[in-house]
Structure 1
Amino acid sequence: MRHTTHTTEQQQHAAAAVGEALSARGLWALQPGLTRAPDIPGRIEVILTDPGPYSLAGTTMLPLTTPGEAAALETALRAVDITADADNHDEHIARSARLVFQTPDDAHRFADLVWQEMPVGHRAVHRLSTALARAGINSGHVRLTDTGIGIGRVTARDALTLIPLLGGPHHPRLRARRQTDLKKIAASLRHWLRPLLPGIRVTQDPACRTCINEQQREHALLLGAAPVDDINALAGALEAATRAQALPEHASPSGNSRAR
């Protein structure tokens, strides 16, 4: 069998694809990367330290506790053209698994499989988180809930960034650091979100300037949960807005982005 040499960039790109897919699925994994073992140089390794349960390709992937389960996973992956070695990373924990992909193509096919089998809720969380991040908005609080997908805490500063992306005004007179403006910011954000998220709850969450644990926190708003379809609609609107901002006509004559 002919050996194919892959560049470090190709390997790192494949490792990143695996990491993004597993993270979107909500699995806790150590950052995938190249193996350092001298007997398998240049292969791509990922260690999952998640209790699961999680199945892929019709068989158990987490928890991976016995050699038989590892062999079954390898067989299931080979059936979909993915060559990987599987084992329990730490026999004393019984909650971790280790996968070593033979080539970057195997790693990419594995990432594709994770995406293909991913529930729609996880996909929507990842899509909205990505759309918010690309818009420069902290997306660390988007999560699955019992009632849909919760957006969580959004700082007043990020809310003022979000409102124009939804078609609203820039509100030059409102100040994120001024608590007396928080009610107006909340009302405006609620108004511009509701065409996409009809039942969304937006409540004020002012910073407590006398509380030791919250002295560094900004004034914020708490956004409730919304159905998956509504969350996808919001993500789509943000994606369109950020694409529009990137067009040449949104730049000033000097070539710099228009100040906000």
Structure 2
Amino acid sequence: MDMEASDETDGDVTIDNPVREQRHRAAHALVQALQASGARSLPPKIGTSLTPAITLALLQDSMPAILIGDGLPTPAAAAAVQQGLREQGVQAQVEVQDIMGFPALQIALATVDDTQRLADLVMSRLPEPHAASHRLRTTLATAGVKAINMRVQGGVIEVGGISATDACTLLVILGGHLPDRIELEDWHHLEALAEMLSAALHTASGRVIDVVADPACSTCSATRTYEITLGPVAPEQARRLADAVESAVTPTSPEQQPVRCR
């Protein structure tokens, strides 16, 4: 049950700071869930009065199936989504809004609890490629490897680029051995690192994964690091890789420290 305390001033009902913080946390959880589903939303608006608590707009080309299915959002579809959410215990006002000339689905959630319920609902019904992608992304993040460009495309998971430093970390986590000297901003060393990581990923996932060295050009080296790009993986392959990483970074004793390559 929501505990949304409020202060009343000059007849206007406003929320206090603890409630505002609760709303920010719930909005973050919902955005994370929607991103895991492949949806893209505009930044959520945090309500400053009792209701709605949180409002956000989903772009028409990235609706999670749980909300609208295939096709463009229409008023009839928005009404159906609102009714469907109500049946799941989520109180929300759902409307179609024009965002830069394109229809978007605007969802105004009544309370923090409604926002969290929607986030949980989206996460519980992720299609398998998105569920596997989320598992791999969060497992890598726990290990200190950021795969911020990971996405699902055509039923497979495009891992995308990771920094050379994170590639080094991933190699060590998977049991690979680094040479005594490696310069992560040297093209030849980056190629060697890509080859070693390719072998380690093959062993961990059971199948070949494309691994390509992607050095920064001379004009962009000041704005981005040297990277290694990981090719597409099937959902079951992503899960095997996540299992391998999780097993390697889970301490077996209080004295064991997380693996890092820095």
Which TM-score band (shorter chain)? 0.7 to 0.9
Is contact 1:70-1:86 (8 Å) kept? yes
RMSD, aligned α-carbons: 3.1
When residues 87 and 186 of structure 1 are mapped into structure 2, their CA distance, relative to the original with a 3 A threshold, is same
Gaps of 5+ in 2: 6-18
CA, structure 1 residues 42+173, in 2 after alignment: closer, same or farther (shift >3 Å)?
Answer: same
Map Cα deviations across residues 203-228 of structure 1 (whole Å, 9 max, x no partner): 3333333xx45664443333221211
The 3 A distance-change label for structure 1 pair 23 and 184 is: same
Structure-2 change in CA distance of 1:10 and 1:61 (3 Å): farther
Distance in 2, Cα, partners of 1:172 & 1:208: 26
Percent identity between matched residues is 30
1:194 aligns with 2:237: no
Equivalent position of 2:12 in the other structure: none
In structure 2, relative to structure 1, the CA distance for the partners of 1:33 and 1:193 (3 Å cut) is same
Judge conservation of contact 1:62–1:97 (CA < 8 Å) in 2.
no
1:1-260 to structure 2, matched below 5 A, reads 4-5=3-4, 7-36=19-48, 38=49, 40-41=50-51, 43-52=53-62, 54-56=64-66, 63-66=72-75, 68-90=76-98, 93-146=101-154, 148-197=156-205, 198-209=207-218, 212=219, 216-244=223-251, 248-251=254-257
1:95 aligns to what SS in structure 2? strand
1:46 match: secondary structure = strand
Following superposition, the deviation at residue 80 of structure 1 comes to: 1.5
Alignment deviations for residues 83-111 of structure 1 (CA, whole Å, 9 cap, x no partner): 11111233883521211112222112211
- The normalised TM-score by structure 1 is 0.80
Unmatched tracts of structure 1, length 5 or more:
none
Q: Check whether the contact 2:73–2:105 (CA below 8 A) recurs between aligned residues.
A: yes
- Between stretches 11-20 and 140-149, larger displacement belongs to 140-149
The C-alpha deviation readout for 1:185-244, integer Å capped at 9, x for no partner, is: 1221112111123221223333333xx456644433332212111111112222333332
C-alpha contact (below 8 Å) 2:162/2:227 kept by paired residues: yes
Amino acid at match of 2:250: R
Distance of 2:198 and 2:180 partners within structure 1: 18
TM-score, length of structure 2 as denominator length: 0.80
Q: Please state whether the residue corresponding to 1:190 is helix, strand or coil.
A: helix
